[in-house]
Amino acid sequence: MTTIPATPGPATVAPVTKEPTPPPGPRRRLADRFAGGTGSRWFPYVLVFPLALVLFGYVVQPMFATFAESVGVDGVENYGSFLTGGGVARSSLVTSLIISAASVLLCGIVGVAMAFLLKRFSFPGRKLIEAIILVPAALPPLIGAISFQLLYSETGILPRGLQQLFGAENPVLPFSGIAGVLVVHTFTMYPYFYLSASAALGGMDPSVEEAAYNLGAGRVRVWRTVLLPMLTPALVSASLLVFMTSLASYTAPLLFGVDQTMTMQIYINRTNGDLPMASTYASVLGVVSVLFLLGMRWYEGRRSYRSQSKGVAAHRREITNPLGRWLALAASLLATAVLLAPVATIALVAFSRDGSWTTEVIPAQYTMQNFVTIFAEPRAFQPILNSLKMSLIATVACVVVGVLIAYAVRRLDFRGRGLLDVAVMLAWALPGTVVAINLISAFSTGNAFSFGQVLIGTFWIMPLAYFVRFLPLVFRSSSAALAQLDPSLEEAARNLGASWWRAFGTVTLRLMLPGVLAGALLAFVHGVGEFVASVLIYTSETAPISVEINNRMYSFEVGTAAAYGMLQVVLIFVVMVVSGRLEGGRRSTREAARWTA
Amino acid sequence: MIDVTLESVSKRFARGGDTAAVADVDITIAAGEFFTLLGPSGCGKTTTLRMVAGFYFPTSGRIRFGTEDVTRRPPNKRDTGMVFQNYALFPHLSVAQNVAYGLKIRKVGRAESRRRVEEALGQVHLAGYGDRRIDELSGGQQQRVALARALVIRPKTLLLDEPLSNLDAKLREETRTEIRRIQQEAGTTGIYVTHDQAEAMAMSDRIAVMQAGRVQQIGAPQEIYHRPATSFVARFIGRSNVLTLPVQGATERTVTVGLPGGGEIDVPAPADHGLRQGETAQVSVRPEHIGLTSTTEAGALPGRIAELEFTGMATNLVVDTAGERMQVAAVDVPAGIAVGDQVGLRLNRDRMWVVRP
């Protein structure tokens, strides 16, 4: 499943029409509050220290362990192979970068075009497309990649269908290799562009555009001189995101057999037992990811063009030309089919008999047996239990740590606040494969943070990996929820006599709850769909659903694999509906916040 | 009801920084008094109030409630009722639950609590609104819920941080009379923060005018208006012409100053004016205390009308004189008067006042 970035949160806070309170922000107020009441002025540190320890122990320190591993035996040679031409290392790096750049370009074209069509024009079928536009991106990464493979690869439904249709000798328009990877990337990552471009378009004050027309600019000129410059910040941050995500992509190259990418090399070297070389790849990829993270933070810190005026929304232009309307309708139908095809394929194949699908366009024989097997056979059901259990443990930990870090970062004043923030985002920026290698390097021997235990090969390494990967999701949503909360609510509670803990519990935490829950649900589904890190650290007893799917695919039990995938998809849609409800709840509190502000 | 004392209270925010948000504030507020901290943006008035509430602790100085030193007491142990500028109502609680929040913390019994909530809501004319959600109320209603929530705990002091600034002009005037009435009925000490001088004048027993973290003057509204201590107070409260004039003589309560057009005038001054002949004095004279006359009148200040604006009740003029641009508010003006006319200005010396620069 693709991680969709929270839209810049604080912008939703209504500007308070107050003559500026004295220079210190809400953070300082709270810091001051602690200076006497609930504890001492050291209270923030007492709260933050264990959090910092967790982040250091499970995010930062493992990174250093990986680096140490990579330079341990013949470090110079390991890193040297990236610089000197010809070798696998260098070509993997180059391939990864090229794939990422191409993905940015393709996602940018698709995403921005979609945003403009859907936000600026009114045509039949628009609402339907808006409703399902994020479906492909919502699939777990492995299921997403598998569905595209089933659809568009040489043995896929579409090329074979076209072959039959035209009576051609070979499958028509098959995607393979890098082209296949790019198709997967485009379909799963264009939402980054779509979401940020449509948010920017929605937040744009239409009167700015109208002013340009009023001053005599033509349509092209308005585009060139007003619209595009105003969209630039959104496009730049979406580009950085897509680049990072493509760089971290592992399942697409795996399924389309592109071995020479950074992530694949990590996996191949790890499975060949060359941990120092895997660590070298992981370190290089980690450093590149961190650089991108820092670049994004720097860029986000600059001003964005969000207009302050409220009320008037941009008008959608009705397509009135009859030919245009027909074209639009046809295009909408096509888009709907394309967007729903991956899920439909998984659903179809889930009911196919294993081994029955060879050269036909679609499977020939259908059965319920796949699902019966999964639920009836204890060995087949075990991965589901594993995934649920590991994901639940990780989610609980994410909530406890994530909420407290969000509170500390947003509301407390202490030295090193920025570092804490960066450490959480680091966990988000690191590719899953790198997280796995980091944990392997750190916990293949006993270590203070594992209480002296070797974690590799045990059950606990799995929830730990999920915790590290999905902590940022809970942190982000909690932090966004906190940003919408006026600090004076907590102050009012304190003024009425509530202790800090009581004010936090009955007011702040209570009001954050929808956001926290939404984040927790997201972390949970991501955990259930996790594949990238799991595949490097699972054991036969702890194999999660996705690893089982992958193994079944290898043994050509495509039907059973798809059936597992179908279960993941169902879980995801249930969760999406639930968090949609929560989102609605959050909107009402936001509404209230606007009223009180 | 309790008196509140601030003894040379200062607050610096930056660690070791040298700009003080509040510097050396000495204020004694009598029990039951309605006291206003008035000043422009960033003058330190909100910081001062928040120190009384306990959200900030002073960098130096002491704060006392009665004889108790509360300087570093946490906010939840101070028994103050605060009305926040944005009301800070809990959006997840109903109106009645909001009002009952403080009672619950004080472990007031259920029946008693219900009675007091109803009483408080009645007091702010919101009886029967208890079950409403906060977002179902208008801005003015929310404001009154916030007031009820602060009053229901029968606080020793009621703290109000610009509670009217989010209301429209008409509602603001109605509500300020309400707040004053309720404060007197409850008999609690009130401390009010505002930047609106008309609001401060209308509501307060006494006002402290603050600027740049310092108290410029403390006094009853009339005193502050008619005998401003500094040129800042003179200009900030109402409108005023502050003239810089040469001192030609001084006694204990009057200063004789020379006028730019020639002639001199005796101006009332505070006892501690300390001015001597040869120095310059700052003299405040309000626009409504200047009369229009002919240029030939003895002692009149000649000038030329630069701007003229008819507002109905009075005519506001800007008149260029030899030394200064003067603002004049005349109730009746000669018919046909126009920009560019030469006029004489008659200053009402009894209403003039020597201020500190």
User: How close B246 gets to chain A, by Cα (Å)?
Assistant: 38
- Helix/strand/coil percent split, chain B, to 5: 25, 35, 40
Interchain proximity A19–B41, CB inside 8 Å: yes
Task: Give chain A's radius of gyration (CA, Å).
Answer: 25
CATH number at residue B320: 2.40.50.140
* Residue of B72, B76, B89, B21 whose CA lies nearest to A502: B76
pLDDT of residue A243: 93
| Gap between the Cα atoms of A501 and A38, Å rounded | 8
pLDDT of residue A10: 38
| Gap between the Cα atoms of A40 and A18, Å rounded | 31
Q: Does any domain span residue A241?
A: yes
* Residue of A329, A338, A265, A330 whose CA lies nearest to A94: A265
Q: Which two tokens stand for residue A546?
A: 């996705």
CB B51 within 8 A of CB B58: yes
| Gap between the Cα atoms of A193 and A468, Å rounded | 26
Taking one residue from A and the other from B, the number of pairs with CB-CB distance under 8 angstroms is 137
Interchain proximity A18–B85, CB inside 8 Å: yes
User: How close A518 gets to chain B, by Cα (Å)?
Assistant: 18
| 3-class secondary structure, A370 | helix
* Residue of B65, B13, B73, B71 whose CA lies nearest to B44: B13
CATH number at residue A113: 1.10.3720.10
Q: Which residue of B has its CA nearest to A500?
A: B76
Which residue, among B71, B76, B105, would best test binding to A if mutated, counting the most A CBs under 10 Å from its CB?
B76
Choosing from B231, B254, B273, the residue where a domain stops is B231
CA contacts within 13 A on the Cβ side of A74: 6
| Gap between the Cα atoms of A197 and A193, Å rounded | 6
Among partner residues B55, B90, B150, which is closest to A32 by beta-carbon distance? B55
Whether residues B214 and B122 share a domain: the answer is yes
Report which DSSP code applies to A366: B
| Gap between the Cα atoms of B126 and B144, Å rounded | 8
pLDDT of residue A357: 81
pLDDT in tens, A437-477: 999 988 887 777 878 777 888 889 999 999 999 999 999 88
CA A225 to chain centre: 33
Contacts of B75 in chain A (CB under 8 A): 33, 37, 491, 494-495
Task: Annotate A47-66 with b (16+ C-beta within 10 A) or e (fewer).
Answer: bbeebbebbeebbbbbbebb
Whether residues B156 and B253 share a domain: the answer is no
| Gap between the Cα atoms of A472 and A3, Å rounded | 10
User: How close A504 gets to chain B, by Cα (Å)?
Assistant: 12
Interchain proximity A596–B105, CB inside 8 Å: no
Whether residues B254 and B188 share a domain: the answer is no
H/E element, B172:
helix B169-186
* Residue of A126, A529, A64 whose CA lies nearest to A317: A126
Interchain proximity B92–A589, CB inside 8 Å: yes
Whether residues B130 and B199 share a domain: the answer is yes
Whether residues B216 and B248 share a domain: the answer is no
Q: Does any domain span residue A255?
A: yes
Among partner residues A18, A24, A597, which is closest to B13 by beta-carbon distance? A24
Sheet holding B301-310, edge to edge: B290-293, B342-347, B301-310, B315-321, B325-330
Whether residues B191 and B286 share a domain: the answer is no
Residues in chain A whose Cβ is within 8 Å of chain B? 16-24, 28-29, 32-33, 35-38, 486, 488-489, 491-500, 502-503, 506-507, 510-511, 588-589, 591-593, 595-597
Cross-strand bridge partners of residue B214: B211
Contacts of A28 in chain B (CB under 8 A): 13
Report which DSSP code applies to A315: P
Choosing from B231, B251, B273, the residue where a domain stops is B231
pLDDT of residue A185: 93
| Gap between the Cα atoms of A408 and A401, Å rounded | 11
Exposed/middle/buried for B332, CB within 10 Å: 0-12, 13-18, 19+?
exposed
- Helix/strand/coil percent split, chain A, to 5: 75, 0, 25
| Number of neighbours of residue A228 by Cβ within 10 angstroms | 12
CA distances from B24 to B48, B216, B220, B268 (A): 11, 11, 21, 29
Q: What is the DSSP string of A46-59?
A: HHHHHHHHHHIIII
| Gap between the Cα atoms of A204 and B334, Å rounded | 55
CA distances from A33 to A14, B50, B75 (A): 25, 11, 8
Whether residues B136 and B259 share a domain: the answer is no
Domain that holds residue A226: 78-124+138-304
Whether residues B212 and B267 share a domain: the answer is no
Tokens 């040469």 locate to B246
Contacts of B149 in chain A (CB under 8 A): 492, 496
Largest CA distance in chain A: 83
pLDDT of residue A17: 38
Q: Which two tokens stand for residue A42?
A: 């050291």
| Gap between the Cα atoms of A252 and A149, Å rounded | 9
Which residue, among B50, B92, B133, would best test binding to A if mutated, counting the most A CBs under 10 Å from its CB?
B92
Whether residues B252 and B287 share a domain: the answer is yes
B124 Cβ contact list (under 8 Å, min separation 6): B144, B145, B147, B148, B178, B182
Each residue's pLDDT, cut to its tens digit, for chain B (357 residues) gives 789 999 999 998 866 566 789 999 999 999 999 999 999 988 999 999 999 998 888 989 999 999 999 998 888 888 999 999 888 888 888 999 999 999 988 899 999 999 999 999 998 889 999 999 888 898 889 999 999 999 999 998 999 999 988 888 888 888 888 899 989 988 899 999 999 999 999 999 999 999 999 999 999 999 999 999 999 999 999 889 998 989 998 888 899 998 877 778 899 999 888 888 889 999 999 999 998 888 777 778 888 999 998 888 888 999 998 778 889 998 878 778 889 888 888 888 888 999 998
| Gap between the Cα atoms of B233 and B272, Å rounded | 17
Among partner residues B80, B88, B134, which is closest to A486 by beta-carbon distance? B88
Contacts of A592 in chain B (CB under 8 A): 91, 133-135
Among partner residues B56, B135, B159, which is closest to A29 by beta-carbon distance? B56
pLDDT of residue A304: 54
CB A269 within 8 A of CB A277: yes
Among partner residues A21, A38, A503, which is closest to B46 by beta-carbon distance? A21
Among partner residues A22, A36, A488, which is closest to B86 by beta-carbon distance? A488
* Residue of B204, B198, B210 whose CA lies nearest to B179: B204
Whether residues B119 and B50 share a domain: the answer is yes
| Gap between the Cα atoms of A215 and A16, Å rounded | 33
Cross-strand bridge partners of residue B283: B243, B354
CB A66 within 8 A of CB A437: yes
User: How close B104 gets to chain A, by Cα (Å)?
Assistant: 10
Report which DSSP code applies to B191: E
Whether residues B58 and B199 share a domain: the answer is yes
Interchain proximity A33–B91, CB inside 8 Å: no
Side chain identity at B275, as an amino acid letter?
A: L
Domain count, chain A: 1
Whether residues B139 and B249 share a domain: the answer is no
Domain count, chain B: 2
Among partner residues B40, B82, B86, which is closest to A597 by beta-carbon distance? B86
Residue ranges of chain A with per-residue pLDDT less than 50: 1-29, 31-39, 307-312, 586-597
CATH number at residue B64: 3.40.50.300
Domain that holds residue B279: 239-355
| Gap between the Cα atoms of A79 and A63, Å rounded | 16
